[in-house]
Every structure is written in C-alpha cells, then in structure tokens.
Amino acid sequence: YLTFALILAVFGIFSIGGQQQFVVSSSSLDETWKIGETVGFLARAYSDTAHPMIEEIIRTATSYTVFFWLIVLIFSVIFFSREYTDSTIKIAIASGQSRIKFFVAKYIVITITSIFLYFSFIMIAFIIECAKFNIPIQLFPMLKIAGLNCMIMGAFIGITLMLCVIFKHTAIVVGAMSLFTFSGPLIYMMTWDNMSAQSWRVLTYLKINPMYYWMNTCSYNLI
C-alpha cells in the first residue's frame, strides 16, 4: 500500500502541470534548457509551448525518475527484509532450497514488479503529454529511453539487495543507498560540462552511480 501511495503522490506532482525542475544543470546561458545542453530531470521545459518536440515530451515523462528510485528503494528493502523478519529464508533453506536461488528469485520478483510500475507510469505520462498537444505518439524513441532506464533500475535494485544481504538492517541500507544516490547528481551537476578535467576518482564514482545514467537518459543526452 505504501508503494502505491507514493506512486499516486508522484502522479499528483505530474498532474500539477507547469514547468518543473528537480535536479538540473545546463550549459545554456539563456536558460532555454535545450536538448544536449541540459542534464537532469526537467518537466515541461518546452522550447515551443504550443508545439513541443517529441524529445522534450520524453524528457518530461521520464523526469519523475528523480522520485521513482526512492519508491523502488523502499519497496525493495521492505519486501526483502520481510524474508528475515518472517523467517521465510530460514524455512526455505531448511527445506533444501539453495540460498543463491532464493535470493535470485526475490531479485527477479522485485525487479519485474518495480519495472512494471515504473514503465507504466512513464508511458502514461508520455501518452498524456502527447495527447495534450495532439502530437503523434512515437513509441520507438520513448521505448529506447524506457529500456535504458529499466536496465539501470535493475542494477540499482541489485546493489540494494546486495546491501540487504550484507547488513540485514533496513535503516542502514536505506540510509546508505540514499546517500550514495543523492550524492551522484550533486557531484555531476558541478562537473558534467567539464568532465575531461575531473580526476579518475570522481569519474569512477560517477560511473558507478545510477543517477549519472538516469540524469543523461532522462534529459535525452544519450541518443
């Protein structure tokens, strides 16, 4: 219920309308938020408010990834931690089930559920924005971005569950993953327009942070 309540809250933010900037940095001096000159999560920053480009609509639909990762984190940790609190894992292992197979099965369930909810959300947002401006729905470019984002989400869930196995403490996992994920955009916004001058330590940290990839895909910078 908490997961669905959080998704409805994010959909409420989407329904408010108007230009919304969440975590954004741009090299554009006139603040037009041009595609290719902006990185981050930006909704309804249309160069032509009457006839937006399909790339800008995709950017709008996927901008709410900035909230969705937190929903996925909470869902993953709560779902997985119940296996310890309910002693499900002990029963499964005692009955002869492999620990690795058990964890893989839980990863698959959590990942499929999370991707389904995320994919449904961004596709609904995309269709709503296209219908609002009477723009033909171009599924291929949207599906490319959605596919990349879902792959990143799969890796994000994998890291989260790995920490769950190591620490077995909900608060520690949520805190560590939140700090790790939040720090990514803060560093990236300060360095993205001058990446070649950054040290290998900074570059490595960014490249292992899921937000680095989400900030690029959601701002349509990887196409």
pTM comes to 0.87
pLDDT at 123: 95
> Are the C-beta atoms of residues 160 and 174 closer than 8 Å to each other?
no
pLDDT at 29: 55
Residues of the chain with pLDDT under 70: 27-32, 84-94, 96, 222-223
pLDDT at 38: 83
Residues sharing a CB contact under 8 Å with residue 83, sequence separation 6 or more, in sequence order = 89, 106
pLDDT at 127: 94
pLDDT at 197: 85
Return the residue matching tokens 């609190």.
85
- For the chain, the structural domain boundaries read 2-6+51-169
Q: What are phi and psi of 52, to 5 degrees?
A: -70, 155
The structure tokens listed for 205 are: 């940290």
CA 113, 118, 124, 126: dihedral to nearest 10 degrees? -150
> Are the C-beta atoms of residues 70 and 178 closer than 8 Å to each other?
yes
Q: What are phi and psi of 44, to 5 degrees?
A: 60, 30
Q: Are strands 20-26 and 38-43 parallel, antiparallel or unpaired?
A: antiparallel
CA distance 97 to 171: 28
Residues sharing a CB contact under 8 Å with residue 86, sequence separation 6 or more, in sequence order = none
pLDDT at 189: 86
